[in-house]
Amino acid sequence: MNKVSQVVLGSILTFASAGVLADDHEMFAGDMDPAEPMSVQAQICNLNDGVSLSDYNKVTEEYKKWAKKNDAEVALFRQFPMMTHNNPNNRYPADFVEFLVTDFENAGTSWDKWMTTKTGQKLAAEWGDVGTCHIKMGALFTQWADVEAINTDNDRIVTWNWCTRRDGVTHDDLNKAHAAFIEENPDGLGNIGWFTLYPNIGGADAAGEFAHIVVYPDMAGLMEHQEWFAKGGWRGRMDYYQMADCTGEAVMTEQVLGRPGA
């Protein structure tokens, strides 16, 4: 996932946790089940020379029309770096990162339509004219979510924290720690979602085995979490870091560009 993976590869009115969902739990847009893993496609993008974001957005809108017409709609998000681990001597390597989230079946059939139809290939060429994007894929798991908020909030703040298990620590050990945290904080801590991402395709340079992605509705929500951290939450964080070696959080802004059926 090249250097960008170090900071990116960051979404009960009825609260949902994958481990404790009732049979009639709410669904994400596009009838995606929070209790099931989801396919996530990351597009690490730079605008081509002379191309504005407005130019790029025109192609994005054409893609959304194509996806709707071809029964290939996905949840589409775009993130911009805000507070990252980069600095003037190590600049952020992308203008933005896009995420296409859907179920695995739709991801596969949508790709087939994209690669085998004349309209899909025409759009692919137009996309290449406005941006240079490197595509990665992984699996996304919902740890906890306010489903209604995730389905309706369009401008939000997302933190990313890449982690790798320490020697002797199993995935089951981490799952127990995650479940315990949810039990202790059933209403969240200023956030509307907490997900874990496991890179799978194109992820050789990922900054960890997996990433914690925490979604906030706004900066006020993020600061609520920061206050919790400052007033003792750091102790639990340090305990977790005994189990996993993590990069620490980076912050992105996120725009929801489209949802299935919208």
pLDDT higher than 50, residue 110 = yes
Q: How far apart are CA 260 and CA 180, in angstroms?
A: 33
Please report, for residues 102, 208, 229, the alpha-carbon distance to residue 86 in angstroms, rounded to integers and kept in the order given. 30, 17, 23
Q: d(Cα 196, Cα 185) in Å, to the nearest integer?
A: 17
Q: Which residue has the higher pLDDT, 14 or 23?
A: 23
- How many other CB atoms sit within 10 Å of the CB of residue 70? 15
At 15 the pLDDT is 38
Question: The CATH number of the domain where 127 resides is what?
Answer: 3.30.70.100
- Contact at 8 Å (CB) between 63 and 123? yes
Residue 235 has pLDDT above 60, yes or no: yes
Which residues, at least 6 apart from 149, have a Cβ–Cβ distance to it below 8 Å? 13, 192, 193, 217
Query: Is 11 a residue whose pLDDT tops 80?
Result: no
pLDDT higher than 90, residue 21 = no
| pLDDT average, residue stretch 211-220 | 98
More confident residue, 6 or 168: 168
Average model confidence (pLDDT) for the chain? Answer: 91
Collapsed DSSP state (helix, strand, coil) of residue 161: strand
Contact 195, 143 (CB under 8 A): yes
Domain that holds residue 238: 3-258
pLDDT at 22 over 60: no
- Chain segment 29-69, per-residue pLDDT in tens: 989 999 999 999 999 999 999 999 999 999 999 999 999 99
Domain count, the chain: 1
